[in-house]
Amino acid sequence: MPKKILLCATVDYHFKAFHLPTMKWFKEQGWEVHVAASGRMALPYTDKKFTIPIQRSPFSLTNLHGYKSLRKIIENNDYAMVHCHTPLGGVLARLAARTARKIKGTKVIYTAHGFHFCEGAPYVNWIIYYPIEKYLASLTDSLITINHEDHRLAVNHKFKCTSIEHVHGVGVDTTRFQPIGKTEKAERKKSFGYQSNDFLMCYTAEFNKNKNQKLLIKALAAVKDQMANARLLLAGEGKLLEECRQIAAHSGVSDQVDFLGFRNDIDQFLPICDLALSSSYREGLPVNIMEAQACGLPAIVLKNRGHSELVVNGVNGYVIETDDPLAFAEKMLELYQQEELRDKFSEKTVSHVANYSLPKVTNELEIIYNRYMNEVEGYEWAIQ
């Protein structure tokens, strides 16, 4: 009988977006891969998929049903390993796996994609989320963090899991996301409906309060006359999309802001851009910035732990200290006017993002997985 792993998250799209290489790797090792999440998306490298009710809100009663479903799934399957992701997926799966971990020796791994409690987070986040994570650490064999601040926090606060690890995020596919030459860039801009000399600034994110797109729209409005051929490309959907459209209209920049909606060709249009932006208040380690950096884009970002891990101020971009449209606008204008500076930042950013490449992250995860595979009772594992 092949050994089985259960992967759990709030929504199934999380696995399609971030974890298919891991799932493929387990299949190559002869393991059976099960997935539990909300949503009905078909996933590759998956032997069995369970659709369970999980909501992002920690206060939703639906999550009680999600917990009961997960507990039954784990009880009815002989999992050697459970690896959970996302805040609610991590809470429910670790609670549901308590008995299997204690009695059967199931190994429980949790990847924290960014603690809700962190430096600068609202005090209420520490009151609510910190004690939950501190307790759940005792039900965890391996806590994987994806930025150094979270790693230090878990270590310094003595989270009582078996091990606390650090990996470089979920990995960026540097074979898909690559810089292109200036001639090709000019031609590809035209194929997307832009002029070859348009200055394209991009931000790919869900439209919600945390992602804070309105800051970028207001920043562009502050320098629109000096950046007449600049375009702000906002890819994504979400409940604040229409509000951002209205802000663009009221700010007089509707003709310079393109709302691109959901895109499945990010790897094609990122290389035509000239600058990456991110205005989010909270990030663990943002994939959108890593993908942009792999395409050679300098970045201007709002200061938070994830952004500060990827962008070194004045080296491969700028980190803005406060939620201030004028501060963003100043740096946008500077990079708009100085092509040599953009090229200098671009060179640095491509070399920096190599640390977060998919092969490197996959290797880091394999080392962790192999350690626990060796500990599964009755299972002989040869590390290759």
Question: What pTM did the predictor assign?
Answer: 0.89
CA distance 97 to 74: 7
Per-residue H/E/C for 32-61: EEEEEEECCCCCCCCCEEEECCCCCCCCCC
Does residue 109 form part of some domain?
yes
What is the C-alpha to C-alpha distance for residues 361 and 113, in angstroms, rounded to an integer? 14
Strand partners, 120: none
Strand intervals (E) in 12-167: 32-38, 48-51, 79-84, 107-112, 142-145, 163-166
pLDDT tens digits, residue range 357-371?
999 999 999 999 999
Domain assignment present for 383: no
- 204-232 tens-digit pLDDT: 999 999 999 999 999 999 999 999 999 99
For 175, phi then psi, to 5°, come to: -85, -25
- Output the CA torsion sign for 226, 227, 228, 233: negative
pLDDT band (50, 70, 90) for residue 243 = very high
Q: 320 in a domain, yes or no?
A: yes
Q: 172: burial class by Cβ within 10 Å (0-12, 13-18, 19+)? A: buried
Q: Looking at the structure, do residues 167 and 43 belong to the same domain, yes or no?
A: yes
Whether residue 161 is found in the same domain as residue 256: no
The secondary structure element, H or E, covering residue 277 is strand 275-278
Given a cut of 50, whether residue 381 has pLDDT beyond it is: no
Mean pLDDT of the chain: 93
Name which of 118, 36, 26 is nearest 71 in CA terms.
36
Does any domain span residue 339? yes
Residue 320 and residue 221 share a domain: yes
The reply to whether 209 falls in a domain is yes
Q: What DSSP designation does 355 have?
A: G
Q: Are residues 254 and 148 in the same domain?
A: no
DSSP reduced 3-state for 185: helix
d(CA 61, CA 128): 17
Average pLDDT of 173-188?
A: 94
Residues 133 and 163 in one domain: yes
- Which contacts (CB < 8 Å, 24+ apart) does range 341-347 have? 342/274, 342/275, 342/298, 345/298, 345/315, 345/316, 345/317, 346/179, 346/296, 346/297, 346/298, 346/316
Using one digit for the tens of pLDDT, what is the confidence trace for 1-30?
889 999 999 999 999 989 999 999 999 999
Domains of the chain: total: 2
- Which structural domain range is residue 269 located in? 182-355
Question: For 328-347, what is the mean pLDDT?
Answer: 97
Q: 163 and 223: one domain?
A: no
Residues 111 and 199 in one domain: no
- Cβ atoms 177, 294 nearer than 8 A: yes
Neighbours of 186 (CB within 10 A): 16
More confident site: 120 or 91: 91
Q: Judge if 14 and 32 occupy the same domain.
A: yes
User: Is it the case that residue 383 has pLDDT exceeding 90?
Assistant: no
At residue 379 the predicted structure's pLDDT band, cuts being 50, 70 and 90, is: very low
Confidence of residue 101 (pLDDT cuts 50, 70, 90): very high
Residues 304 and 331 in one domain: yes
How much is the CA Rg of the chain, to the nearest whole Å? Answer: 22
- Residue 96 belongs to some domain of the structure: yes
AA identity, residue 302:
L
- Condensed to tens digits (0 to 9), the pLDDT of residues 250-267 reads 999 999 999 999 999 999
pLDDT of residue 310: 96
User: Residue range 266-276: average pLDDT?
Assistant: 96
Would 176 be classed as within a structural domain? no
Query: What CATH number has the domain bearing residue 255?
Result: 3.40.50.2000
Tokens 């629109």 correspond to: 224
| Any domain includes 122 | yes
Co-location of 163 and 188 in the same domain = no
Same domain, 341 and 363: no
> Are both 109 and 220 inside the same structural domain?
no
